[in-house]
Amino acid sequence: MRVRTVLAASAAATALVLTLPASLAVAAPQGAQAAPVPICREGKVTVEASRTDRPHVIHVRVRNNGDRTCAIDRIPTVTFGALDGAAQPVPPTESRPYRVGAGKAAYATVRTARTDDQAARVVRSVTVAADPSHRGKAFSARSLGAPHGVKVYEPVTTWWHTTQGRADRALDRAT
């Protein structure tokens, strides 16, 4: 399984985020006129993962349950059992804040393996986090419609999108 490349600067930035209070503001993306947005607290977001009718594809959703817009990383953090690494973003990108309005949701689509991958490993759980500073939530393979385990080989994830349909189309375009 390939792992998401982590540059030293990105790792340092993640470590810094972990040590800063959640009320610290994150600047809006370059060129945006919006005011700074606080990082979403893990307790203020709900993460869900569900099976789809497509083999080796999982839908992921994060909902901001807070009363204010907050920011998560634009790349969901998706890990697989005890395997090292996380799903790679498609298209490739670097970490950057993604704003989620109060009461709003963001969606991503994850491909765990291509159906013909003979080298796939099998895991009993998938963990999804809205942001790399969060622990995330583990989902059993059974709850994801894979009673014999989730096959994993070179997994990829879309960025967060405003609808599940957009996330699905982004995965289709990228793969």
Q: 105 and 166 in contact (C-beta within 8 Å)? A: no
Domain count for the chain: 1
Question: Considering the domain boundaries, does residue 160 fall inside one?
Answer: yes
How distant is the alpha carbon of residue 76 from its chain centre?
Answer: 1
Owning domain of residue 159: 8-174
**The pTM is what?**
0.80
Question: Considering the domain boundaries, does residue 61 fall inside one?
Answer: yes
- Local confidence pLDDT in tens for the 175 residues of the chain: 444 433 333 333 343 333 344 444 454 455 545 568 999 999 999 999 999 999 899 999 999 999 999 999 999 999 999 999 999 999 999 999 999 999 999 999 999 997 677 889 999 999 999 999 999 999 999 999 999 999 999 999 999 999 999 999 999 999 8
Question: Considering the domain boundaries, does residue 2 fall inside one?
Answer: no
Question: Considering the domain boundaries, does residue 60 fall inside one?
Answer: yes
Give residue 119's pLDDT.
Answer: 87
User: What are 156's strand-pairing partners?
Assistant: 88, 111
How distant is the alpha carbon of residue 79 from its chain centre?
Answer: 9
Give residue 87's pLDDT.
Answer: 98
- In angstroms, the CA 138 to CA 123 distance is 12
Question: Considering the domain boundaries, does residue 1 fall inside one?
Answer: no
